[in-house]
Amino acid sequence: MKQILVMEPLAQEGLNLLATAARVTIAAGASAADLAALLEQADALLVRSKTRVTAELIAAAPRLRVIGRVGTGVDNIDLEAATHRGVVVVNAPYGNTVSVAEHTLGLLLALARHISEADRSMRAGRWEKTAFEGTQLRGKTLGLIGLGRVGAAVARRALGLEMKVKAHDAFVTPERAAQMGVAWVTLDELLASSDFVSLHLPDTEQTRGMIGARELARMKQGAYLINCARGSLVDEQALLAALDSGRLAGAALDVFSREPLPDCALLHHPRVLLTPHLGASTVEAQRDSAVDVARQVLTVLEGGVPEYPVNAPALSAEELSALGPFMDLARRLGQFYAQWSGNHVQSVELICCSELAGQRTDLLVSSLLVGLLSARAEEGINWINAQWAARERGIAFAARLEPDTMPSGWTHWIELKVRTNGEMRTVTGAVLRGEPHIVQVNGYWLDFVARGMLLVSEHREQPGILGRMGTVLGDAGVNIHFVQVGREERGGAGLLVMGLDDPLTAEALQQVLALPSIRTATMVRLG
């Protein structure tokens, strides 16, 4: 009988489902010695957010076939180690949508009507009716940063309260937002015009610290900030300064940069409303997430394909063998574009050439969309749900076979075409010597392995530019391990890609941007 190890509390409905086909052991609070023994026999592992599933833990479970994350985020799981071992990771990206949206609205209402402060005053024996004059929500503007599953659910409920709703999401088109009754605006416009700003983005390198001093200073005087997404999105010190200065009237936080929240200024600030990461803490969300994950874990153990795999495509072994390298390439092309360009995407086209003709291009398109959307999308994007997620954001996508269009000497060719804000951008890749290469960006010929940390810079060619950039990077203590330059003509526009051992700090990146002839400079991480 299969052995399933449950590391954290799980709703009974999920436990009951697991018990129909496997022996279930609850290991919450187990000693290190007991846990080691249990891991040796475990075929499946179920965790929530507290357990860190490290490479060492995965290595200690030789029979492990599947890890189930009861919830959405998988940042506590070493996906690379799991993938290397052939362990499927599944999650429940939709089980908590309604609960998180409702909690967001609850915090919004509590801020608007000073409910928490009034409650404390009453319990202290005071009757301060005039001290807590609030504001009604009807007619006020709610700005949503992120319009994925939770953001969209919040929008629907806010519209029901007769609020005006604006949103900024790089991967939702204005047309799609309009269909929801939401006005798509730039981030700066959203910040300047919203009475309430609510965050609904994942924790990624692109979103960490995105609400800092600059963004808070651009918010409407007397506005409120709500965060039920990820604590890493907000610079907490900058938030405190904005509250102290009076720029913000208040903030409601369900998530924090450190959890549990240590003793700090946030705990004692009179205009901050706090809850201990309760967004998904409802009976219904816990039940639905537990059942979703339990069902998928059993599916994997029975040899089937799960509904929401985080790190595994739903295809046969034969298809994976033939298309695996090209699926990986397509994903990295999407990753590159998503980080290189900050514009929202209107349409995506994947052009496949030569030996790929006749193969399942839907697999390649899905892989491309995984890379394109996962950098900023709120829900866990995977091979299964990528096309659905793109449609939800109003992104058109298609694939086209052109077996006779490659330059001489090439046998494999994938080109990504992205239409955004009326312009077309392209990224082209090939599989060379078994590795994914990017060989052309916006018409500039290059050749580098699509892996690791990259500095991508658009510039006008002039003597000494490489030396000056090298000096900036050297002063920052960052090693360059390759340089690729593409150009239109001598002295013309060009594209520079540097492979770096470490990412640049924001300060060093600004120094690069300040160099003469440098038009753009962007950090890109591929993996």
Edge-first strand listing for the sheet containing 452-460: 480-487, 493-500, 452-460, 518-526
Strands 518-526 and 452-460: antiparallel
Question: What is the distance of C-alpha 415 from the center of its chain?
Answer: 24
Tokens linked to 515 = 């160099």
Instruction: Name the catalytic one among 113, 208, 247, 277.
Output: 277
The length of the chain in residues reads 527
**Which helix (H) or strand (E) element contains residue 190?**
helix 187-193
* Residues 6+ positions from 281 with CB-CB distance below 8 Å: 99
User: CB atoms < 10 A from the CB of 166, how many?
Assistant: 24
What counts of helices (H) and strands (E) characterise the chain?
A: 18, 22
Among candidate residues 268, 293, 272, 200, the one with its CA nearest the CA of residue 11: 293
Instruction: Name the catalytic one among 13, 128, 162, 259.
Output: 259
DSSP-derived secondary structure for 60-80: T-TT--EEEESSS--TTB-HH
CA–CA distance, 245 with 248 (Å, rounded to integer): 8
| Burial group, residue 194, by CB count within 10 angstroms (0-12, 13-18, 19+) | buried
DSSP-derived secondary structure for 176-189: HHHHTT-EE--HHH
Tokens linked to 503 = 């990412």
Instruction: Name the catalytic one among 200, 230, 332, 412.
Output: 230
- Catalytic residue check, 230: yes
Among candidate residues 200, 239, 28, 17, the one with its CA nearest the CA of residue 104: 200
CA–CA distance, 18 with 90 (Å, rounded to integer): 15
Structure letter (DSSP) for residue 504: P
Whether the Cβ atoms of residue 303 and residue 131 lie closer than 8 Å to each other: no
Half-sphere exposure of 192 (CA within 13 A, CB side): 5
First vs last Cα of the chain: how many Å apart? Answer: 36
- The strand ranges marked E within 154-278 are 164-168, 183-184, 196-199, 223-227, 248-253, 272-274
| Burial group, residue 468, by CB count within 10 angstroms (0-12, 13-18, 19+) | middle
Whether the Cβ atoms of residue 115 and residue 109 lie closer than 8 Å to each other: yes
Coil, helix or strand at residue 171: coil
CA–CA distance, 410 with 338 (Å, rounded to integer): 26
Helix, strand and coil percent figures for the chain, each rounded to 5:
35, 25, 40
Coil, helix or strand at residue 427: strand
Among candidate residues 495, 348, 518, the one with its CA nearest the CA of residue 420: 348
Give catalytic residue positions. 230, 259, 277
